[in-house]
Amino acid sequence: MMGVDVNKLGISIGGKSIVRDVNVHIGDGERVGLIGSSGSGKSMISKAMLGLLPINAQTEGSVILGDTQVVGADETVLAGLRGRYVGAVFQNPASSLNPVLTVGKQIELPLKLHYDLDKADRQARVSAMLEKVGLDATVAKKYPSELSGGQQQRVGIATALITSPRLIIADEPTTALDSITQRQIVDLLVSLVDKAGASMLFITHDFSVLARATTRCYVLDGGRIVESGNTADLLEHPQGEQTKKLVAAARELTLQRKQNRDD
């Protein structure tokens, strides 16, 4: 099956160290969080897992997906891994969908790449997937610009999940959405990932979202893991400086949200 082991991962670009000595383990079927403020190196770690780091990036250590070493792997090995075993949901749904392709076409593309299906089969699967993410089958004919942010992110999730990957990397999938939609998207991701028995790495800077999405998490600061453990515990008893800050920020936001709702 599909566990992930990141050992002593280090990433530097142009001599500047971005991620240092990162160890992350994701068990099979586990939902794990990676939390940190902007610039802490979260996205770099997810890119390293997909083998999509910038060409000038230098990496050390290892990222092992299942039994494949991703760091320094051949492009053909990576292409076979992506989609089939790893899928990614991105931060900004508006820009991560191609503006000139219809929604149906975009969800169909990964299927076309990885499976030998005829057109009718593919379209049936696209319709089924749309339904799974809570969209009408007619959405397939629309262009991304005709959808709301929440709907666009549902399409993003559908694109990532249509090939049934074993590991979903969700790179701040809710950051660009409003708070109500955020919760819906997180709940949708969690239920789909659990139903498929897949694992998930959920990247965010927002503890309140993380608690909903994951059971265990790593706190990242300045490219290093500063704390890790059960998400609920960390939220209750943050130890490190950075964790406290992030928890405080989440509390404030949640409180404000509650106040706004009371008004």
Q: Write the interaction track for another protein spanning residues 45-64; mark x where CB under 8 A is met and - where it is not.
A: -----x-x--x---------
Q: How far is the CB of 27 from another protein (least distance, A)?
A: 22
Contact between 98 and another protein (CB under 8 A)? yes
Of the candidate spans 61-69, 89-97, 212-220, 231-239, the one that interacts with another protein by CB under 8 A turns out to be 89-97
What is the C-alpha separation between 164 and 171, in angstroms, rounded? 18
Q: How far is the CB of 21 from another protein (least distance, A)?
A: 25
Contact between 184 and another protein (CB under 8 A)? yes
Residue partners of 31: CB distance under 8 A and separation at least 6: 190, 193, 194, 199, 200, 202, 213, 214, 215, 216
Contact between 13 and another protein (CB under 8 A)? no
> What is the CA angle 138-140-144, rounded to 5?
115
Q: Residue 201 forms beta bridges with which residues?
A: 32, 169
Contact between 102 and another protein (CB under 8 A)? yes
Which of 145, 215 has the CB closer to another protein? 145
**Inter-helix orientation angle 149-161/103-114, to 10°:** 10
Which of 17, 123 has the CB closer to another protein? 123
Contact in structure between 227 and 60 (CB atoms under 8 Å) = no
Among 15, 38, 67, 99, binds another protein (CB under 8 A): 99
Nearest to 240 by CA among 248, 156, 84: 248
Contact between 142 and another protein (CB under 8 A)? yes
Contact between 203 and another protein (CB under 8 A)? no
Contact between 140 and another protein (CB under 8 A)? yes
Among 20, 25, 105, 212, binds another protein (CB under 8 A): 105
DSSP 27-74: -TT-EEEEE--TTSSHHHHHHHHHT---TTEEEEEEEEETTEE-TT--
Contact between 109 and another protein (CB under 8 A)? yes
Among 22, 35, 129, 160, binds another protein (CB under 8 A): 160
DSSP 118-186: -HHHHHHHHHHHHHHTT--GGGGGS-GGGS-HHHHHHHHHHHHHTT--SEEEEESTTTTS-HHHHHHHH
- Contact set with another protein (CB under 8 A): 50, 52, 55, 79-84, 86-88, 90-92, 95-102, 104-106, 109-110, 113-114, 119, 123-124, 126-127, 134-143, 145-146, 148, 150-151, 156, 159-160, 163, 169, 180-181, 183-184, 187-188
